[in-house]
Amino acid sequence: MHPDTSFSSSPAALRTSQRQALDFLLERHSPWPLTEPAPSAEELDLVFQAALRAPDHGQLRPWRFVLIRGDARVALGNVFANAARLRDPSDDGERFRAKAMAAPVLIAICARVQSPHKVPESEQVLAVGAAAMNMLNALHLLGYGGF
């Protein structure tokens, strides 16, 4: 860690501020379901910027994000329900349909793994996981829930 030389507060004030930020981060949890309001476009941009700061050995950017909101959640719920019925014809799929509606905005996170590559597949998948965690932390710091 390197100190920010442009920060004009005392070292004690900086430590207090850092501790407050860490304490707030330690309050993060995954509430269910999520309710309105959803993050604004500007806030979502910050969330995606945080995701792009995840460790990325080889600079492969193996993450892909798909923003799903509005009526697209209904369509996704239909896909979930149909998939459940295909797996088990006695399942009506409604609990899976409800998952698509459990938040005002969904972000599908996918891994685009390059293989063969000098960066092991496991590291590429871990980079995607780190991006997802950065997103969850950013949402929390902005005052939103995430799971």
Q: What is the CATH number of the domain that holds 92?
A: 3.40.109.10
Domain that includes residue 106, residue range: 33-141
Q: Would you state the pLDDT for residue 33?
A: 86
- The answer for residues whose C-beta is within 8 angstroms of residue 26's C-beta and 6 or more apart is none
User: Residue 4 has what pLDDT?
Assistant: 54
Look at residue 127 in the predicted model and tell me its pLDDT: 97
The answer to whether residue 42 sits within a structural domain is yes
Using alpha carbons, list the distances in angstroms from residue 13 to 9, 57, 141.
6, 34, 20
Q: Is residue 12 part of a domain?
A: no
User: Residue 61 has what pLDDT?
Assistant: 97
Overall number of domains in the chain? 1
Residue 25 within any structural domain of the chain: no
Extract the tokens encoding 92: 């009506």
Give me the sign of the Cα torsion angle 67, 139, 128, 84.
Answer: negative
* Residue of 144, 146, 147 whose CA lies nearest to 39: 144
Q: Which pLDDT score is estimated for 32?
A: 85
CB 88 within 8 A of CB 105: no
Whether 102 is covered by a domain: the verdict is: yes
Enumerate residue ranges in the chain where pLDDT < 70.
Answer: 1-8
